[in-house]
A and B are shown apart, each in its own frame.
Chain A
């Protein structure tokens, strides 16, 4: 027996894919395949191993990007949240990064760092880091003053207070930032593969578009969305494992 929430998820998937199928059959556009055509193409891509080779290529900037932007994003966010001067110094850089038209900057990155892994990781980080750092900073700054004061009154050291009070208190918003940042990073990673050099999944998208094999193109796009959703779900599981008690609300009033 399915649980209610799983049933709703299935129902919602059914409606979305159903709408896709209908739109493909009308057809909305010559270049828009049906859901079933795309899934068939996806099965073929998986079957002949193309997709796995592609992800072997795509996952590298993705994984390196997640690690770098996660670690440094949270780290820098922690510092800007704890230190007002650093906040003034660093936050504007992130705001600029966040609002910069990335596609227009990619040629500059390529000139500076070439067409390899470095540029692609850069694109991921430009997309992901600002959200992670700014969210972390905001959450750290807004730790309830009274529990920090409690930590001081009971002789907590500065690192005690950061590790045992500030970080756990900020964790829901830090994780929200990670989720938003990493999904933006996924977009960045694919953008890099389309704009810099067609490798991995970006290559499948570019190539199948150029030979008008639209089902394969949509299959590749679909696969990256699935990967992102699976990853974000894992992140949510990690959050619940680390800070299970936190989603229970503050008990001050």
Chain B
């Protein structure tokens, strides 16, 4: 009984995962749970293996040993239950916004009229209506990532894997994205895995923050902000708990930054 409860609570479970690249140990004995319907950040300095972990969960690279469970099922490769948002957007430069957003559905064999109907809906949701026939090079960095986000949403996966999705957009756009992400977590019944190297960003958007430390990579701490999660978006950045957590994380990370 407790076993099934466990499965229903965690969308993703990482158990004793090791990853070696030759002699380099990227991940050592990493165990971590990602609760369903929540946003968990993987936070850490560069080189701590957070992107590696995300790609192992995505099934894009195999773990050397250990296992990853998504909704209780072991991961052997990419699956329909997960969608990926890329740091560099990974859009097809020769395809319009409409085709890019529908591309995930195209690869799943959804017929053109249906997939375009779905794509148009999500293009509207991310605020890009009117740009359906534009090409990626005609869009700003922030708009390109909205295309990447719409593509990930349109395949309707339960788990969204986001690899530093806002690191390549400007500061103002990033703040807007963070606010939008909070509404997304509230409105969509999905689990979000969010890789970032920004402490403020992680504390602002996360239900749970896993701090990863490098050499060898491991989870050093899990922080669950409680007080300000249900507060107004605008007052979070002034909340005492928010500021305390940011300070505390910096205190534990600063020794690892050269």
A-side interface residues toward B, CB under 8 Å?
146-147, 149-157, 160, 164-165, 168-169, 243-246, 248-253
Contacts and interface: CB of A to CB of B under 8 A. Distances in A.
Interface string B70-101: 00000000111011101011111111100000
Contact of A251 (B80, B104, B144): B144
In the complex, which of the residues A149, A153, A248 has the most CB atoms of chain B within 10 Å of its own CB atom? A153
Contact of B90 (A149, A164, A246, A248): A149
Interface stretch (B36-44, B131-139, B243-251): B131-139
A251 B94 contact: no
A153 B88 contact: no
Contact of B103 (A154, A157, A251): A154
B224 to A, nearest CB: 28
A150 B137 contact: no
Contacts of A156: 107
Contacts of B123: none
A107 to B, nearest CB: 47
Nearest to B55: A149
B222 interface: no
Chain B interface secondary structure, helix, strand, loop or mixed?
A: loop
A234 to B, nearest CB: 21
B155 interface: yes
A223 B91 CA distance: 45
5 contacts: A146-B90, A147-B90, A147-B92, A248-B137, A252-B91
Interface residues of B, number: 33
Nearest to B82: A153
Contacts of A251: 89, 91, 93, 135-137, 139, 144
A119 B94 CA distance: 40
B55 to A, nearest CB: 8
B58 interface: yes
A161 to B, nearest CB: 9
Contacts of B240: none
Contact of A245 (B60, B82, B93, B139): B93
B90 to A, nearest CB: 4
A227 to B, nearest CB: 31
B94 A243 contact: yes
B195 to A, nearest CB: 14
Contacts of B95: 245
B112 interface: no
B135 A154 contact: no
B135 A248 contact: yes
